[in-house]
A and B are shown apart, each in its own frame.
Chain A
Amino acid sequence: MSEMRTMTYAEAVREAMAIAMEADERVFLMGEDVGIYGGAFGVENDLYERFGTERVRDTTISELGIVGMGVGAALTGMRPIVEIQFSDFTAQAMDQIVNQAAKIHFMVGGQASVPLVIRAPGGSGTGAAAQHSQSLEAWFAHVPGLKVVMPSNATDAGALLLAALEDPNPVIVLEHKLLYKQSFAVPATFPKARLGEGRIEREGSDLTIVATSVEVQRSLEAAEQLAAQGISAEVIDPRTIRPLDTELILSSVEKTGRVLLVQEAVKFGGFMSEVSATITESRAFGALQAPVRRLCGLDTPIPYNPKLERASVPQVDDIVREAAALVREW
């Protein structure tokens, strides 16, 4: 085991970008306020000093334009990273993401591919309210041709970004704004990650909790509390939303027989609904001792009031309560 260091999630993202830009002159970054400002969440910091304004480009407020430019640059030999300041603003760029980036490789019969990485922070908890707090991974997971990752900790934030930059397909990296300032233990070098590989964050036997992004952290905390109640929870982070590490999840379900699926995003039409269907359609169905349960954001835009904001997405106590109920009732 290599020696560990402590760094924040934001620092890990920055370091991964620096590593990539150092190693490959085709990699460059475009985004709003990523230069001298240092990034809206401080992710870029002094990156522009190290790599210059050619490689770290401040753009106008033109999400559609810059994502499209990312597509064009990716088609012609570059490996661009396009930062969208809040994942909510991907709405401005949807044509270039969904109709262009995702489909060009297919539509041109393989003549070219679009190795584009789009990074954007999502999630709630900062009081930014409805238009700046969404979790939109389901939008992108639904589009064939896109890959989607949601790193839940600093090591993955770095490792998954590096893996995304190696992928010839367009990859959407959804970071979480609450995680940027959190510190994590990170190995000296980012481990080699593969898109489509999840990880068991904590082993257990009474139920399987599958969670994404910040909910992974909350689920791990919940698992500690559950252990004190005599309930052993296994916590899985899929890490990549699409393609999904189905095998990892099914094996766990076969072991425990109970599943709780936790996401910050709204329940209806969400990613965890896909995971639930995947489980019940599979060989793991016969191992189920309980209905597959989803614990998700409420069916509402994220509100401004802090108590309402908190209540709108699953918190640690919600996870503890739902998991305990699942084990007791079934």
Chain B
Amino acid sequence: MPRVPLNMPKMSMTMEFGTVVEWLAEVGGTVKNGDAIVVVTTDKVDMEVEATFDGVLEEIVAPEGAQIPVGQPMAYLQTEAEDLLGDLFDAPAAPPTEAPAVPAAPGPEVEAASPAGGSADVRAVPLARRIAAEAHIDLRQVAPTGPARTIRARDVREAIERAQQPAAAPSVPAVPAPVTRVAPVATAPVVPAGGALLGDDRTRRIRVATANVMAASAAVPQFTVFRALDLGRLARAREVSLKGVSWTSILVRAYALVLREFPQLNGFWVGNGVQANQAVGVALAVDTPRGLLAPVLADPDRVTLRELDRRIREIAEAIKRGETDPALFSGGTGTVSNLGGMGIDRFNALLTPPQATALSLGAVGRRPVVDADGELAVQMACEAGLTVDHRVADGADAARALDAMQAFLADPLLLLA
């Protein structure tokens, strides 16, 4: 007699598996068309599965509790009744014919609009953006008169008119600053006109550049966490193996290691998230007669400490001589400022946008400290301040970063690796 499978039936629109709850027939027992053979549960609902022909229950392959996919056998029955469709699906099915492709009815072609011109941080109506883009007008230079300080089309048109009149061009900052929304000043303090500007051209340019960067920085929500970094072990190492290596180099390297370990802090805020940077670039603030410059050291954790030290000296010398290759100043993902040599204990460096952190270093020196036993001791330390862009990271992140920095500084091997 033919052996026919009793498959797990599909009993609801979404069912994919069923679990056998109870066999109502025994192996060897007779079943008739319409008899319930087994109780199955699916989606918490028990359902009886009926035989659709007369036969004998020959073998149970799914014991109570077994979970069987829809269409797979739970048992086999011997029956003389012909299985209506069973063997139809034993042979591989002929592949379905390809449907003739019906060309889609052409819908109205409406292209997606691309907002023209300007950065996303400036509010402007679409037409204003388009006009500005076509006339190469920087929207940041346009005074908005629309609701919610939105630049209207007429505002751009007026800006175009004004630009066509002869006037002093605004100086371009050496360090490109990203656009930030500058908080509107309610009443700007009025500076009486007439006084002479200080410094020569170059100095003034650097001053303006710094001013622009710092004005942009003022719009970034930032905070500083301070920690006295214990440099004891490194102090001893500097007397032995690290002779001649500057504290700056050591601290720059430690900072770089931290930025490498915390990719979030090495990234930039781009409005809807933190964009990662593959490279670490530590900008080192250098005081020059003409002002503050910040050349960038590329991946300072990937060269030996001695090599790093040598490089830093080289760069500092070149800058003091007045050599300033613009390429030297790009690629920064963090800045180190060291005022320790000038007697400063601690300070909070301001961020250089778009960098998310800045490390300020005070003087490295001996200070009194209470040790674990409650005794007064002397510690070689440096007060470090880590300024962080609060859009990128929080206080705890900053704390963890300084913790890591301390860990690097506590283990010269880590630092030298």
Decide: B113 and A282 in contact? CB cutoff 8 A.
yes
Would you give the shortest CB distance from A223 to chain B, in whole angstroms?
A: 22
A257 CB within 8 Å of chain B:
yes
Interface string of B325-366 (1 = CB under 8 A from A): 000000000000000000000000000000000000000000
Interface string of B153-195 (1 = CB under 8 A from A): 1000000000000000000000000000000000000000000
Would you give the shortest CB distance from B392 to chain A, in whole angstroms?
A: 32
Max chain A C-beta neighbours (<10 A), residue from B111, B128, B129:
B111
Max chain A C-beta neighbours (<10 A), residue from B116, B127, B147, B153:
B127
Interface residues of A in 131-170 (CB under 8 A from B): none
B253 CB within 8 Å of chain A:
no
A25 CB within 8 Å of chain B:
no
Given A250-B110, A330-B152, A286:B126 Cβ within 8 A: yes
Decide: A281 and B147 in contact? CB cutoff 8 A.
no
Would you give the shortest CB distance from B414 to chain A, in whole angstroms?
A: 55
B146 CB within 8 Å of chain A:
yes
A24 CB within 8 Å of chain B:
no
A203 CB within 8 Å of chain B:
no
Would you give the shortest CB distance from A60 to chain B, in whole angstroms?
A: 39
Instruction: Write out the residue numbers on chain B whose beta carbons fall within 8 Å of the beta carbon of A289.
Output: 125-128, 152-153
Instruction: Write out the residue numbers on chain A whose beta carbons fall within 8 Å of the beta carbon of B130.
Output: 286-287
Would you give the shortest CB distance from B10 to chain A, in whole angstroms?
A: 23
Instruction: Write out the residue numbers on chain B whose beta carbons fall within 8 Å of the beta carbon of A257.
Output: 127, 153
Decide: B110 and A281 in contact? CB cutoff 8 A.
yes
Would you give the shortest CB distance from B277 to chain A, in whole angstroms?
A: 33
Given A257-B153, A330-B146, A330-B152, A286:B114 Cβ within 8 A: yes
Instruction: Write out the residue numbers on chain B whose beta carbons fall within 8 Å of the beta carbon of A283.
Output: 110-111, 113
C-alpha spacing A283/B111, complex, angstroms: 5
Interface string of B89-122 (1 = CB under 8 A from A): 0000000000000000000101111111000000
Decide: A288 and B110 in contact? CB cutoff 8 A.
no
Would you give the shortest CB distance from A169 to chain B, in whole angstroms?
A: 14
Decide: A285 and B126 in contact? CB cutoff 8 A.
yes
Max chain B C-beta neighbours (<10 A), residue from A286, A289, A330:
A286
Max chain B C-beta neighbours (<10 A), residue from A246, A257, A288:
A288
Q: How large is the interface on B (under 10, 10 to 19, 20 to 34, 35 or more residues)?
A: 10 to 19
C-alpha spacing A257/B128, complex, angstroms: 11
C-alpha spacing A285/B110, complex, angstroms: 10
A317 CB within 8 Å of chain B:
no
Would you give the shortest CB distance from B152 to chain A, in whole angstroms?
A: 6
Cβ contact of A286, chosen from B108, B129, B147, cutoff 8 A: B129
Interface string of A266-308 (1 = CB under 8 A from B): 0000000000001011111111111000000000000000000
Decide: A287 and B110 in contact? CB cutoff 8 A.
no
Would you give the shortest CB distance from B173 to chain A, in whole angstroms?
A: 30
Find the B residue at minimum CB distance from A290.
Answer: B125
Instruction: Write out the residue numbers on chain B whose beta carbons fall within 8 Å of the beta carbon of A286.
Output: 113-116, 126-127, 129-130
Given A285-B113, A286-B115, A246:B126 Cβ within 8 A: no
Would you give the shortest CB distance from A211 to chain B, in whole angstroms?
A: 21
Decide: B152 and A246 in contact? CB cutoff 8 A.
no
C-alpha spacing A250/B146, complex, angstroms: 24
C-alpha spacing A283/B109, complex, angstroms: 9
C-alpha spacing A288/B125, complex, angstroms: 7
Instruction: Write out the residue numbers on chain B whose beta carbons fall within 8 Å of the beta carbon of A247.
Output: 108
Instruction: Write out the residue numbers on chain A whose beta carbons fall within 8 Å of the beta carbon of B147.
Output: 329-330
Would you give the shortest CB distance from B106 to chain A, in whole angstroms?
A: 13
Q: Is the interface of A mostly helix, strand, loop or mixed?
A: helix
C-alpha spacing A278/B110, complex, angstroms: 9
Decide: A287 and B126 in contact? CB cutoff 8 A.
yes
Given A283-B113, A286-B115, A329:B146 Cβ within 8 A: yes
Instruction: Write out the residue numbers on chain B whose beta carbons fall within 8 Å of the beta carbon of A288.
Output: 125-127
Would you give the shortest CB distance from B130 to chain A, in whole angstroms?
A: 5
Find the A residue at minimum CB distance from B130.
Answer: A286
Interface string of B291-326 (1 = CB under 8 A from A): 000000000000000000000000000000000000
Decide: A330 and B110 in contact? CB cutoff 8 A.
no
Instruction: Write out the residue numbers on chain B whose beta carbons fall within 8 Å of the beta carbon of A285.
Output: 113, 115, 126
Would you give the shortest CB distance from B102 to chain A, in whole angstroms?
A: 12
Instruction: Write out the residue numbers on chain A whose beta carbons fall within 8 Å of the beta carbon of B115.
Output: 285-286
Decide: A281 and B112 in contact? CB cutoff 8 A.
yes
Decide: A287 and B112 in contact? CB cutoff 8 A.
no
Would you give the shortest CB distance from B235 to chain A, in whole angstroms?
A: 63
Instruction: Write out the residue numbers on chain A whose beta carbons fall within 8 Å of the beta carbon of B126.
Output: 285-289
Interface string of A232-274 (1 = CB under 8 A from B): 0000000000000011001000000100000000000000000
Cβ contact of A282, chosen from B110, B127, B146, B152, cutoff 8 A: B110
Instruction: Write out the residue numbers on chain A whose beta carbons fall within 8 Å of the beta carbon of B146.
Output: 329-330
Find the A residue at minimum CB distance from B115.
Answer: A286
C-alpha spacing A150/B128, complex, angstroms: 36
Instruction: Write out the residue numbers on chain A whose beta carbons fall within 8 Å of the beta carbon of B127.
Output: 257, 286-289
Find the A residue at minimum CB distance from B125.
Answer: A289
C-alpha spacing A288/B130, complex, angstroms: 10
Would you give the shortest CB distance from B27 to chain A, in whole angstroms?
A: 47
Would you give the shortest CB distance from A78 to chain B, in whole angstroms?
A: 28
C-alpha spacing A286/B118, complex, angstroms: 13
Interface string of A306-330 (1 = CB under 8 A from B): 0000000000000000000000011
Would you give the shortest CB distance from B42 to chain A, in whole angstroms?
A: 29
Find the B residue at minimum CB distance from A283.
Answer: B111
C-alpha spacing A64/B108, complex, angstroms: 36
Would you give the shortest CB distance from B307 to chain A, in whole angstroms?
A: 53
Instruction: Write out the residue numbers on chain A whose beta carbons fall within 8 Å of the beta carbon of B116.
Output: 286
Would you give the shortest CB distance from B149 to chain A, in whole angstroms?
A: 13
Decide: A246 and B125 in contact? CB cutoff 8 A.
no
Instruction: Write out the residue numbers on chain B whose beta carbons fall within 8 Å of the beta carbon of A329.
Output: 146-147
In the complex, 11 of the A-B residue pairs with CB atoms within 8 angstroms, ordered by the A residue number, are A257-B127, A282-B111, A282-B113, A283-B113, A284-B113, A286-B113, A286-B114, A286-B116, A287-B127, A289-B126, A289-B153
Rank and list the top 8 A-B pairs by shortest CB-CB distance, nearest first: A285-B113, A282-B110, A289-B127, A288-B126, A289-B153, A283-B111, A286-B126, A286-B130
With A282-B113, A289-B152, A290-B125 given, name 8 new contacts (CB 8 A): A246-B110, A280-B113, A283-B110, A285-B126, A286-B115, A287-B126, A287-B127, A330-B146
